[in-house]
Structure 1
């Protein structure tokens, strides 16, 4: 007896003798899942695939599970395994997620410290970040700005996070205090290449110059300063708060500029070298 014949016999027993489907199937040796199976029309999967593709095109970020849920909502009597099988056969897939990594690196080796050197005080500044942590593990960022010719540390901004707006605010304070450089050198960090920073610098008459990607040695003056700060201060200090970090770092900057002899300046301090360079511009090099 074929499964379809058994299916008819089960229906007869249920209808004629009032027995349950379970008992009728047991008497006839019919699996209940087989008995409940309903033949699928010949074009069922063709129409299903058509609707599945329609939904996938309309919702390109949806996978087969969400598409299956939409098919159910539209009245399709189909389980998720069939949708998954057809999804693979049709080679449907969710496109890879696009990650916005911000501005692309636009620097070049022509903007390195040796290819484009500072020739006098307030000619070229450079800036970069150094990171540190509080005792409780909280992150801190320090934005350092250095005059490349005199090696003077112009100022450090300390905060938990520093975005482009904070970069602009810090530079504005330094411009008011020290004057505006002709150029400012940096890497291609997103805070430095942000359109808002570049537009603000253009309005101040300052040209941003970007070193080549992944070439921190091309921004050697601020990198060397950051290394000194880490070696002489950050590695030996523990900070319990942002306020404490600001006070200690600003105190170290004062010593760096006015007390610490600098080998590249003939063991003069940056402040003394800067004063001499401004007083005797022709003989200061």
Structure 2
């Protein structure tokens, strides 16, 4: 038999009925039997509703509803607290990504058995973002492969130079997109160096003479390195400061002022004579016969202030690039091997490698280089 269920008003009326029966001289068992309830039910009802009127009963029902509402609010706040506690370790880092937040929400739902709607609302994450599936496009996969290929081919290039090379290949991308993919692939980030202050005269004029046109100023300098057997060799680097074209990297075991003239003479025949040649104060460049010969052929030598290599900054930068991209990456066993690799890189530097000072253009285009050779 199904259990009877009474409303609060029904219970109050039955209690009144039983009390009237008791007042008429009946015992508790008889009064309860006439009302259709047991003695235990009567005593339980009397303990809870005894002496109440209809207004008091309404107040009790209101208090019970309010109590249930408050309990629900407390439970919800406690649940929100637990959700935030589960995701707190992920929310702490400053570089939080949407993917990290999605994973934190999934873990919180698994541990607390909460709904997606409730968890996303507590954390402040739109459900549409939680359900979004990143579908990489086919062209992005091909772009990644092209990016990795160029990064392997030109290991010391940063993402800006790689962006320019991709644009030359026909990709319509900007450097921000390439930087994002560059970081996702974990490729090398070029280190930033502090800028050095320029050297000034007392009258605030710049000491270094600036190039104004092609063949205005050439800069020369030496780079030293060792072969795998420990023997040393020298490289003479010649740079046109205006066009940024590397005119020559002469590689020899030993090199004095006579070898310097021997390396420069073919360049004068091929490119014409410069108006100035800038160098440091090394004995090869400060030699009297070298200085006199330059003066006789109509070239003005410029020697930087002792201890101020930044005055020959164009060539110093080129030498640093040569060392980073070739000398530090290759291990030569013979002078001929060094010449072959360096000459191959020199062609790449002049015709392929984008130069920031030239608005990401190369010193000389590939077609011009082929026509010239």
Structure 1 or 2, whichever has the larger Rg, is 2
Aligned-residue CA RMSD (Å):
2.0
- Whether 1:160 aligns to 2:241 is no
Shift of residue 114 of structure 1?
Answer: 6.2
2:303 maps to 210
Question: Distance between the aligned counterparts of 2:321 and 2:343, measured in 1?
Answer: 14
Correspondent of 1:119 among 199, 205, 212: 212
- Whether 1:184 aligns to 2:293 is no
Q: Which has the higher helix share?
A: 2
SS at match of 1:155: strand
1:226-272 Cα deviation digits (max 9, x unpaired): 00000111101011101111111111100000000001110000114
Aligned counterparts, 1:49-128, within 5 A:
115-128=208-221
1:113-145 Cα deviation digits (max 9, x unpaired): 863101001100000001111010010100000
Contact (CA 8 Å) 1:188, 1:213: kept in 2 or not? yes
2:266 maps to 173
Any stretches of 5+ residues in structure 1 without a counterpart?
1-107, 276-285
Shift of residue 109 of structure 1?
Answer: 7.1
SS at match of 1:212: coil
1:20-51 Cα deviation digits (max 9, x unpaired): xxxxxxxxxxxxxxxxxxxxxxxxxxxxxxxx
Runs (4+) of structure 1 exceeding 3 A deviation are: 112-115
Contact (CA 8 Å) 1:182, 1:206: kept in 2 or not? yes
Question: Distance between the aligned counterparts of 2:220 and 2:271, measured in 1?
Answer: 15
1:268 maps to 361
Aligned counterparts, 1:181-260, within 5 A:
181-260=274-353
Question: Distance between the aligned counterparts of 1:169 and 1:109, measured in 2?
Answer: 35
Pair 238,258 (structure 1): closer, same or farther in 2 beyond 3 Å: same
Pair 113,227 (structure 1): closer, same or farther in 2 beyond 3 Å: farther
Question: Distance between the aligned counterparts of 2:262 and 2:326, measured in 1?
Answer: 25
SS at match of 1:144: strand
Any stretches of 5+ residues in structure 2 without a counterpart?
1-198, 369-373
Shift of residue 207 of structure 1?
Answer: 0.5
Question: Distance between the aligned counterparts of 2:341 and 2:224, measured in 1?
Answer: 15
